[in-house]
Amino acid sequence: MWDYNDKVMAHFLDPHNVGEIEDADAIGEVGNISCGDALKLFLKLDNDGRICNVKFQTYGCASAIASSSALTDLVQGMTLDEAAKVTNRDIVDLLGELPEEKMHCSVMGMEALQAAIANYRGETLEEENEGDHEGRIVCRCFGVTDAKIRRLAKENKLTEAGEITNYCKAGGACGSCLEDIQEILDGVWNTPTNDESSSGFAALPLVQKVIQVQQVIDNEIKPILERDGGSIELINIDGVKIQVKLKGRCASCPTASVTLKHVVQDKLREFVAPELTVESM
């Protein structure tokens, strides 16, 4: 039997927001009952564009139910742009923890939310997830592509094939794709950007550091923040510590710390160096 903490058990035994919203503004559906887990998420927005009601229907284990319940609590009151930044890690953090073998349940919750947001915007989930479904099928048992494996690896710092299995089930059935999954992961973490050690980035001249960081801020981070009426300014670089100032709506937003960690820091780690840390001035 899995060793669940009290918060996971509370969400499992008495899940929040179970049901269906008949006049939902957005619906996201992921998973497949034949594969063991499925989740349908319903969102209703108020006149200010914030999520005022959210419900779910799920088929799955205790972790799937608890993750879905926690997700509904997490996104209440958010705008869709704010909800789009929610990751599976946020769901796990709210629950306290999940067994590593059940992390795929938190990923299912994140993907259902992304599917609902895409549904509201008239987009496809493939567009939201940067082509997850357009890549090469690696795990035929669960229909997982190489694009999805790369995305999960980057978002959750996964380096071993077994970890990918925990997060999306790929390789967990026949196991014939595990070697292929490991090759993909080796490619992710052996790219020139991510192969640099901490000392490598720290040893760069300051002007080169500024150029690299500023390019990512301008090209990857600012466009995301500007959609919410915010912006960001690079203040200082001290070794591998990046100091920034959130501006506009981001400066006073109650979820500024989430933006700092899951947008600014994650993007800089992805495109510059994985050891970077970010703090707000």
Give the CA radius of gyration of the chain.
Answer: 19
Contact 170, 164 (CB under 8 A): yes
Phi/psi for 74 (5° steps) reads: -65, -40
* Cα three-residue angle 161-260-240, rounded to 5 degrees: 75
Q: How far is CA 165 from CA 126, 178, 240, in A?
A: 21, 9, 32
Token pair for 18: 């179970």
Q: Minimal CA–CA distance to 139: which of 104, 187, 171, 183?
A: 171
Q: Which long-range contacts (CB under 8 A, 24 or more apart) does 204-209 make?
A: 206/237, 209/237
**Among all residues, which ones are annotated catalytic?**
35, 105
Mapping DSSP to helix (H, G, I), strand (E, B) and coil, where does residue 239 land? Answer: coil
Distance, in Å, from the CA atom of 58 to the CA atom of 65, rounded to the nearest integer, reads: 7
Contact 280, 246 (CB under 8 A): yes
